[in-house]
Structure 1
Amino acid sequence: MTAETIRPARQRGFLGFVERAGNLLPDPTIIFIYLIVALMLVSALGAALGWSASLPYSGKTAPANAELANGMLTYRASSLFSAENIARLFTEMPKTYASFTPLGIVLTIMMGAAVAERSGMFFALIRGSLRNTPRRYMTPIIAVVGMVSHHAADAAYVVLIPMAAVLFASVGRHPLAGIAAALAAVSGGYAGNIMPGQLDVLLFGFTQEAARIVEPGWTMNPLGNWYFILGIVVFFTPIVWFVTDRIVEPRLGTWNEPVDDELRADLEKGELSDDERRGLRHAGVAALFVVALFAALCLWPGYTPFIDQSAEGPIRLQPLYGSIIAALFLLFLLTGAVFGRAVGTVKNSNDIIAMMREGVKTIAPYLVFVFFAAHFVAMFNWSGIGPIVAISGAEKLQGMGLPAPLLLVCVLLLSSLLDLFIGSATAKWSVLSSVVVPMFMLLGISPEMTTAAYRMGDSYTNIMTPLMSYFPLVLVFCQRWDKSMGVGSLLALMLPYALCFMATGILMVVAWVGLDLPLGPHAGVFYQVAAHAAP
């Protein structure tokens, strides 16, 4: 009897190989420790072999870790074992950690989002948006709500997906079709949303760090992918609708099971209480207050802190873009607080502080991960390898004459391949961005477009792998309605969505580049490095 024969069914075939290979990977934090060790060895080799790369430079002052001579900027590999770099590693360790851009962004957003989540506002919003949904339009509404629910972090996995099954069953539709539609939107449509949120600013934090390898003054715009992520909602929603109603549900058959007491209890939970309705109204007023406040700080005659009057063009709005993280913090904090006050989950200011503390506790694993990620990014810059790889890679790609759409599709496919094994979007981007962002900038592709292509690839693969962190939970939801559901059953259920999303995602990236469409306010596909000329 062969090893293939005695393996459980879920571990056979290609998906079984993916599962076994993924399980061999250590925690992302350990991966970064390995990467730091490998980087130190490579830097020593590069310094010994004299690795370097140059490009024309019109500035008067050379960036850090570079030499300026005769209008040429030269980067040389520096050994991380050198006395200077070893001293910098230990003496600047707290500074390296604390100054890491994504860390401050996540902590700020999470403290506000924790109040909105723990007060019950996010859950009430999800339930209220699906209340009394017409049977015919249930699928597209779940799709849109699923993609918008990314603002509630991972709450949609726990709330929306099981609720979608209950809603489908309550009107005589197959509950597994509801689970499939919700999972497709929440996980497969992870890159889409109506408004940018915490994931956008988190990923752009890594993009900013990488872009500054080439352009030290480049500053992220949290709205840089707004039009693109909105386009994902527009294109993915009809896909979820068609695949669910025309492919998945007919394959599952008719649902004729009786409504049991547990199901009735779940349906009753879907109805908002009077206190919750009042809380949502109060939260809406609080949201309008935040919007009015920031509008006033842009438009008030003679007092415009969010407009740089000394600048010209789109850069005048840079203070406004920089304030969006604070705006999200205030929005989540105030709306969550007034909602909690209305429903009784917030009785005084101490409750708000406690919720903020709990929110920070939940990201403790992330804080550990970021410590090593921050040092990897910093040491990557100290070594000089990033600019050398970017410049050399850009020269070779330029010599090959590959079109921009093809380059971006390669990033998309690489992202989707890695997503089969590593679920964390930030873990992958913290490594990839250091190379692909500066490389593509030198080829004239904007950091925003590179980030958009990465996000698309990182999105649809979530529903194609059992290594996705919420996959076991979703499988439990499925088994409530069908005890025979297994890993392969759920993967087969979601595969049509993944393939359609993949094809649409590739077409969107190609179309955005081919038509030179704007990605967001003052953010385009192509980029001209301010102080450099492409090699």
Structure 2
Amino acid sequence: MNPTPPQAAGSLNRFLNAIEAAGNKLPHITMLFIWALVITLVISLALSYVSFDYRHPSTGAVIAVTNMLAPANLLDLVVNSVKNFMGFPPLGITLVATLGIGIAEGSGFIHTLLRKLMSYIPRASLTPAVVIVSILCHVASDSVYVILMPLAALMFYCAGRHPLAGVACSFAGLSGGFTASYTPSVIDPVMQSFTQAAAQTLDASYSVNVLCNYFFALGGTFFVIAACWYVTDKIVEPRLWATMPLDKGLENDPDLRITPVSALENSAYRKACTVFLGLAALLFVLCWPEGSMLRAPDGSLTSPKAPVMQAIVPLIFIFFSLPGIVYGYAAGTFKSSSDVIKSMEEVMKMLLGFMVFAFFAAQFLYVFGKSGIGTLLAISGAEFLKDLGMPSAGSLLGIIIFTGMLNLLITSATSKWAILSTIFVPMLMMLGISPELTQAAFRVSDSAVNVCTPMFPFYPLLIMYCQKYCKQAGVGTLSSMMIPYTLALLVALTFVLYAFWGIGIPIGFDSGYVYPPVK
């Protein structure tokens, strides 16, 4: 029988238990938005009788709250409910991108890609390599948790290292470092859509580039790798060996071996990669001419008006679906077009909950926007911050801290930014801070805190992976493993953001630090 590992410090246990208890008392995230809708309707009624001294910075109009419970406004809400749902910013973006990723996953292309990447990694470089692969997986859908985490644990185990450190390391790189990325990912257009909509409540002509945080995300990868590498090798793994012994008999488990990529899979993989590279070359050729139809009228490729920027989501679909189809037919995982369709249907099942959430979130955003409460909060908040005399750097740090605290209970970036963007973006625009910088500050703590809260939706799955090697592992085990990553990633990503800001390095395409933007 394995000895019982020492319990974590009492204060840490109490803290984790408090977070878990508070989180478990929250209703479903969709129910939160239903309540938010109801509360906003009631508040709009109360505030409609109050006169405010604030004026809209662009129009000069006096700020007033509209009573959304008035019969005419309620009728508008009902009439426009379908339109609101269809116009919910991340809905179409998420569905289209996920269809392509579903084909690549259903064919086995992504799984083979991960296995090949892992097979080239020497033991000494295992930790940074796992983090790098995890960052590469930011472009995939949530189903990558089912592939990457157990594979990383197995890689660590086969290398004579603690498998739970593999789970922690890959989890930190994938979710904790989600802000950092080598390539554009599905979350970029989702965040951009909310940010632009929020900015346009103050400035109707303002546009936000889909890749407005790309340079920051790319620069952050180096610091995420360093932070996760240090925490894994110097803090987490030594503690695991001391407190979490592996179950006996694991060496006899035939499943704890890495299956090599077969010759057929190798051949299919090469064909799929050839298609991917061919698509990249074709896109380059189409974008290269100065008169390319993919460029903006001024010739820019990175402007929000450039068709290539507007087509980021369809491009993600194409770059995943076509190589996935080629791989599937070459490897035999796709026998007919019905299998391709089925792979898209299967991945869509994962989004059913999101679509239900999107309907009610869309109605909330409609009421929140039309009532004028969002504008009131933004302008009054900006005036409050002005009265405090806080520097811009302090205001951004406040957003990072507040988002991190909120993320302990609500981990969905879309859910939080759907609300917070309507307040933070225009509020900080009033203080001269660009929407792009506000979005970057939000994303710092949104990702870093994900990994340490039991409210993260994949926690039960990750605990199951841990229990494959240590049956006594539980919520406290995973949370205590991940807290050092959260602290390290918060410090690292905050440092990168402020360093970019201080030096004046652009955080993304068509992105500045001040509002109005400097021409």
The yes-or-no answer on 1:476 pairing with 2:464 is yes
Distance verdict in 2 for CA 1:109–1:153, change over 3 Å: same
Picking from 165, 169, 175, the partner of 1:187 is 175
Distance verdict in 2 for CA 1:146–1:56, change over 3 Å: closer
The yes-or-no answer on 1:287 pairing with 2:276 is yes
2:337 is matched with 349
Q: How many corresponding residue pairs? A: 507
TM-superposed deviation, 1:314: 6.1
Partners of 2:297 and 2:412 lie apart in 1 by 40
Picking from 212, 232, 236, the partner of 2:224 is 236
CA RMSD of aligned residues (A): 2.5
Do the aligned residues in 2 keep the contact of 1:517 with 1:524 (CA within 8 Å)?
Answer: no
Percent sequence identity is 35
Q: How does 1:58-457 map to 2 (within 5 A)?
A: 68=59, 72-253=60-241, 260-262=251-253, 264-269=254-259, 271-300=260-289, 302=291, 304-309=292-297, 315=303, 318-457=306-445
1:494 is matched with 482
Deviation readout 1:435-473 (Å, 9 max, x if unpaired): 001111222222221111111111121222222222222
Do the aligned residues in 2 keep the contact of 1:194 with 1:229 (CA within 8 Å)?
Answer: yes
Partners of 2:351 and 2:132 lie apart in 1 by 27
* Code of the aligned partner of 1:25: L
TM-superposed deviation, 1:258: 7.0
Distance verdict in 2 for CA 1:140–1:215, change over 3 Å: same
Q: Please, which moves more after superposition, 433-442 or 252-261? A: 252-261
Partners of 1:36 and 1:253 lie apart in 2 by 49
* Code of the aligned partner of 2:54: A
Distance verdict in 2 for CA 1:487–1:87, change over 3 Å: closer
Distance verdict in 2 for CA 1:316–1:365, change over 3 Å: closer
TM-superposed deviation, 1:117: 1.3
1:4 is matched with none
SS at match of 1:224: coil
Do the aligned residues in 1 keep the contact of 2:227 with 2:492 (CA within 8 Å)?
Answer: no
The yes-or-no answer on 1:467 pairing with 2:467 is no
Q: Please, which moves more after superposition, 380-389 or 282-291? A: 282-291
SS at match of 1:429: helix
1:42 is matched with 43
Deviation readout 1:362-394 (Å, 9 max, x if unpaired): 211111100011111111111112222212222
Normalised TM-score (structure 1): 0.89
Do the aligned residues in 1 keep the contact of 2:295 with 2:301 (CA within 8 Å)?
Answer: no
SS at match of 1:220: coil
TM-superposed deviation, 1:12: 5.9
Deviation readout 1:490-532 (Å, 9 max, x if unpaired): 322222222211222332233233333211122122231699x
TM-superposed deviation, 1:52: 5.8
2:7 is matched with none
SS at match of 1:54: coil
Q: Please, which moves more after superposition, 130-139 or 206-215? A: 206-215
The yes-or-no answer on 1:53 pairing with 2:42 is no
Which blocks of at least 5 consecutive residues in structure 1 are unaligned?
A: 1-8, 58-67
TM-superposed deviation, 1:10: 12
Q: Please, which moves more after superposition, 113-122 or 164-173? A: 164-173
Deviation readout 1:141-168 (Å, 9 max, x if unpaired): 0011112212222233222222222212
Normalised TM-score (structure 2): 0.91
* Code of the aligned partner of 1:319: P
Do the aligned residues in 1 keep the contact of 2:154 with 2:258 (CA within 8 Å)?
Answer: no
1:63 is matched with none
Which blocks of at least 5 consecutive residues in structure 2 are unaligned?
A: 1-9
SS at match of 2:449: helix
2:6 is matched with none
Do the aligned residues in 2 keep the contact of 1:398 with 1:443 (CA within 8 Å)?
Answer: yes
2:23 is matched with 22
Do the aligned residues in 2 keep the contact of 1:425 with 1:458 (CA within 8 Å)?
Answer: yes
TM-superposed deviation, 1:312: 7.7
